[in-house]
Amino acid sequence: MSLALMLMLALLLDAMMGEPRWLWSRLPHPAVAMGRAISGADRRWNRGRARRLRGVLVLAGLSLLVLVLGAILASLLPWPFEVLLVAILLAQRSLAEHVRDVARALEASRDPAPARSAVAKIVGRDTAALDRPGIARAAIESAAENLSDGVVAPVFWYLLGGLQGLLLYKLVNTADSTIGYRTPRHLAFGWAAARLDDAMNFLPARLTALLLAAAGALPVRSRAMEGAGGFAYAWRIARRDAGLHRSPNAGWPEAAMAATLGIALAGPRVYDGQATADAFVHPEGRRDPDAAQLRGAIAMLWRVWVLLIVGAFLLALLV
């Protein structure tokens, strides 16, 4: 069976299954296992001199391990089990559910505390002082960025390199989220993880922006998209504003999502008690998004999913 057809089935299976708690409460999720290995290496090797070199060697060793594992699995697993593994490594449904939980909390009460608790599960910034628009903005930004990191990039690397490409991407992305921070402890040791993650997300981030622009231009539109432009507008805003973002890649899907929903994203925020002066992307958009815009973002996630399904199906017909 072709990679494209297995991918289409995996996308469908992930949408139906998500991340069942009964399973992952008993077994470690592959990404969790990767995170534990990286954290263990951090504790063991992130010390003394030559920390950057140590980080490079650790990442190289773990990368070689997952490439060998991917080759073994690809040669031994029957296609239904490969489809299941790929579905496990996609995050479409779980991402949509996390964002939906924030929307429900905003809709259920004027008290922002429950929504703060919900959004804290999917963002890295300080959430204690977020007001309702700040909560909605943070969740929408997470939806856009994680659509790229958790769905489009895994799809891209699976089609490009099979299970080996997918496992390598998940390792690098997990390493970046574990040790790829510009903190005194990880600036040197996590340098390789951060730089390789930037490189592996370069094309997927821009592809995500294209998909969001295309998804926003589909005929059926929601009230959350009133006043937003079409495909050309969203793509122009993504190209114009992506470079304003602190991340070399996250600005692309965030700017496209902002233009599609008619809102401003990014902007000032607080990390570890320190306020930033980050610029807004699509600053002409409204700066007080609410649960309606969150619902619009969720709709955009599923529209992109539909485009990925269609793309995989067409690719399967060609190959």
305, 15 contact by CB (below 8 A)? yes
Confirm if 64 and 88 have CB atoms less than 8 A apart: no
Per-residue CA distances from 61 to 38, 111, 204 (Å): 11, 48, 25
The Cβ of residue 1 has, within 10 Å, a number of other Cβ atoms equal to 12
The pLDDT of 31-44, averaged and rounded, is 94
Cα separation of 135 and 116, whole Å? 6
* pLDDT tens, position by position, 250-278: 999 999 999 999 999 998 887 776 777 78
Residues composing the chain: 319
Contacts of 154 (CB under 8 A, 6+ apart): 86, 89, 90, 91, 166, 169, 170
pLDDT per position as a tens digit, 45-100: 999 899 999 999 999 999 999 999 999 999 999 999 999 999 999 999 999 999 99
263 secondary structure, DSSP code: B
CA distance 70 to 163: 5
Token reading at 240: 């114009």
